[in-house]
């Protein structure tokens, strides 16, 4: 790596069950303004803009082009879009900054799950020949993984309930979260997963600003330097994968340098309680690591933004001096199919 690149600002919406009063751009725009305000930058100061979203969620074709209205994209800006979680948009922006073409990037993502039935919508990302015709919904696939973990003795229902309770208790301190405080574990949705093991369905958006080198130091008192970032994917056939492990997460973490020194904080994108069990194991996180102080995806899971929010939350803790070295993880696809790991660091506080 030839340049140091940092997350210098982060903003997110209050995540809600529905935002039917707002179009996507109306939901997104306040977050774009907030993240720019934090740095004092204007759209015209940003060298590269990259976004992540999926038209399938709200059933609106080319919604990402309409969302660009909220950026102020005229005269034309340097811009890109991924049909992926915003964490992957951040990855693209990071590589763009590495080229040295520009010093600042705006990354945003948003998802409105409320207009559709997200469990069914997500079946459309599956293998169209052998799997999608069966319409296995997202909870069902996570439940197959959870049962495999239980069968192999990695967890049990009380342990999963404890993950749910800890996440929502931590979310008490996060005013943006959708599910906070005491949330009943509820009935089985797809056994062995209960409603409490599953993420809330909701709408939301997030945005991050990246900056390189001295520009980052100008824009942020304590930049969250990206020491490494990598993403890996597993075979698409569920029956080929070892569902109780996440070799792709482990490899991404290794490539991102996560195992070189311990982290104090980890923001894990685990929409289901059972997936936190898999990730802790794959990432070898000890009990001394603060996992998901934001409440994680179990407290707010705006699809397409929830992974970017993990990076944003980890960075914000570094900005605030609450963490010195944090791991952020994002996932995509069924049962943690694709995983991204970023390692963020703040400069030593005594040196400031």
**Cβ closer to other proteins: 41 or 299?**
41
Cα-Cα-Cα-Cα torsion 221, 13, 43, 25, nearest 10 degrees, comes to 170
Site residues (CB under 8 A) for other proteins, limited to 172-211: 188, 190-193
Phi and psi, residue 296, nearest 5°:
65, -165
**What x/- string results for residues 216 through 255 when contact with other proteins is judged by CB under 8 A?**
-------------------xxxxxx--x------------
Question: Minimal distance in Å, beta carbon 68 to other proteins?
Answer: 7
Residue for token digits 């001394």? 288
Question: Minimal distance in Å, beta carbon 173 to other proteins?
Answer: 30
Question: Minimal distance in Å, beta carbon 142 to other proteins?
Answer: 8
Site residues (CB under 8 A) for other proteins, limited to 5-24: 20-24
**Cβ closer to other proteins: 137 or 157?**
137
Which pair of structure tokens corresponds to residue 121? 């919508």
- Closest by Cα among 233, 240, 244 to 130: 240
Beta strands 79-82; 48-52: pairing state? parallel
**53 touches 88 (CB < 8 A):** no
Residue 117: strand, helix, or coil:
coil
**Span from 68-76, 80-88, 292-300, 344-352 in contact with other proteins (CB under 8 A):** 68-76
Q: What whole-number distance in Å separates Cα of residue 316 and Cα of residue 79?
A: 25
**208 touches 311 (CB < 8 A):** yes
Site residues (CB under 8 A) for other proteins, limited to 37-66: 43, 56, 58-60, 66
Residue choice 50, 87, 143, 282 for contact with other proteins (CB under 8 A)? 143
Q: What whole-number distance in Å separates Cα of residue 162 and Cα of residue 172?
A: 16
Residue choice 96, 119, 231, 319 for contact with other proteins (CB under 8 A)? 119
Question: Minimal distance in Å, beta carbon 31 to other proteins?
Answer: 12
Site residues (CB under 8 A) for other proteins, limited to 95-114: 114
Residue choice 14, 38, 78, 116 for contact with other proteins (CB under 8 A)? 116
- Closest by Cα among 90, 295, 39, 270 to 176: 295
The reply to whether omega before 56 is within 30° of 0 (cis) is: no
Please tell me the count of residues contacting other proteins according to CB under 8 A: 63
Which pair of structure tokens corresponds to residue 317? 């803790």
Give the residues lining the site for other proteins (CB under 8 A).
20-26, 29, 32-33, 43, 56, 58-60, 66, 68-74, 114-117, 119-121, 123-124, 128-137, 140-141, 143-148, 151, 188, 190-193, 235-240, 243
């Amino acid at each position: 790596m030839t340049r140091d690149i940092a997350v210098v600002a982060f903003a997110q919406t209050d995540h809600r069950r529905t935002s039917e009063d707002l179009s996507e751009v109306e939901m997104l725009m306040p977050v774009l303004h907030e993240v720019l305000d934090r740095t004092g930058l204007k759209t015209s100061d940003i060298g590269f803009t990259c976004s992540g979203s999926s038209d399938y969620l709200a059933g609106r074709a080319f919604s990402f082009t309409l969302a660009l209205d909220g950026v102020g994209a005229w005269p034309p800006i340097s811009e890109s879009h991924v049909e992926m979680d915003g964490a992957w948009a951040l990855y693209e922006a990071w590589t763009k900054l590495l080229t040295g073409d520009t010093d600042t990037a705006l990354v945003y993502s948003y998802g409105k799950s409320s207009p559709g039935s997200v469990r069914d919508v997500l079946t459309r990302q599956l293998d169209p020949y052998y799997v999608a015709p069966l319409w296995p919904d997202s909870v069902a696939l996570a439940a197959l993984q959870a049962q495999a973990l239980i069968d192999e003795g990695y967890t049990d229902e009380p342990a999963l309930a404890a993950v749910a309770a800890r996440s929502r208790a931590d979310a008490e301190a996060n005013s943006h979260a959708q599910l906070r405080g005491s949330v009943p574990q509820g009935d089985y949705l797809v056994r062995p997963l209960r409603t409490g093991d599953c993420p809330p369905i909701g709408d939301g958006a997030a945005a991050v600003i990246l900056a390189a080198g001295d520009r980052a130091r100008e824009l942020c008192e304590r930049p969250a330097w990206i020491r490494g970032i990598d993403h890996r994917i597993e075979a698409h056939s569920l029956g080929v994968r070892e569902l109780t492990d996440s070799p792709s997460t482990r490899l991404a973490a290794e490539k991102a340098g996560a195992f070189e020194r311990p982290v104090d904080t980890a923001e894990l994108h685990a929409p289901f309680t059972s997936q936190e069990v898999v990730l802790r194991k794959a990432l070898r996180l000890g009990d001394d690591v603060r996992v998901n102080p934001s409440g994680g995806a179990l407290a707010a899971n705006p699809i397409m933004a929830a992974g970017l929010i993990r990076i944003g939350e980890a960075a914000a803790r570094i900005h605030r001096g609450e963490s010195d070295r944090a791991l952020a993880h994002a996932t995509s696809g069924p049962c943690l199919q694709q995983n991204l790991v970023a390692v963020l660091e703040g400069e030593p506080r005594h040196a400031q």
